[in-house]
Amino acid sequence: MAEELRSSLGREALAPQWDPPQVDTTRPHPARIYDYLLGGKDNFPADRAAAQVALRALPELRAMARANRAFLGRAVRFLARAGIDQFLDLGSGVPGPGHTAQVVRAVAPGARVVLVDYDPIVVAHSMALVDGGAGTGASASADGGSGVGRLAVVQADVRDPQELLDRVRVREVLDFRRPVAVLMVALLHFVAEDEDAPGIVARFVREVSAGSAVVISHATDGGQPERSQAARRGWDQAASRLVARSAGQIEGLFAGVEPVAPGVVPLPLWRPDGPVTDDVGMIWLNGGVGFKREA
């Protein structure tokens, strides 16, 4: 199975010491659907079929995916330039162009990054990234094994924050006594209403020190609930279904941190690099960056 998975994943050689568990590639996964929307190749027929269901209802989804990836880059660069040199990327996804580790290292080569995802194939790709980082102090483990480095991969589910944090701490990459940027980019809309997304955010806010930051982007229904619902059917058979929340609910996720200007806004409006050329009304995601001011 390990060799078959490495072969199917294609472009990068996976860490040879890791034998991935049996993976059902017939079930779509949000990270691989997102990869497809971004034009990536690290996805399977089930992921592409799910994306096509969504795209038929909402062709703007590709633009939304690009806007989300661009927001991630701007937020990470902002925080790295502000002096944060530790990043915990929850729901990190397939590490395509513009992924967190790439953006961080371009600004702060010595920064420490932990990538977390619960999908074994996504973890495998991330481990390949780490395996290719020889000489950078990189280390990886699918099960949260020990190791010291500046880039690590952890397989865990954000819906179990304590287990996730335990696995991250074992890696000894991040020092929670110093500021950490916790990234939840395009993640929390895969947390169901009864799984308490605000409580999950609050748990991580409590864990980090003063001066830390939280980055969140989240889907809305764009004021068109019927089209939104039709598009979200693309995730009905996926490992996690997509939940749209209102602008007010998304703002509520920032409880316990102080959002920086311009606040929690449609993604193209968050500190754009230049004139906003996107039709903001087509980008049904809001987001922002907030700092924890007190311990």
In this predicted structure, what is the pLDDT of residue 122? 84
In this predicted structure, what is the pLDDT of residue 15? 37
Residues of the chain with pLDDT under 70: 1-23, 129-149, 295
117: amino acid identity, one letter: D
In this predicted structure, what is the pLDDT of residue 7? 38
In this predicted structure, what is the pLDDT of residue 131? 61
Question: Which architecture characterizes domain 2-291 according to CATH?
Answer: 3-Layer(aba) Sandwich (3.40)
pLDDT tens per residue, range 230-261: 999 999 999 899 999 999 999 999 999 999 99
The domain ranges of the chain are 2-291
Q: 2 vs 158, 194, 294, CA distance in Å?
A: 26, 35, 46
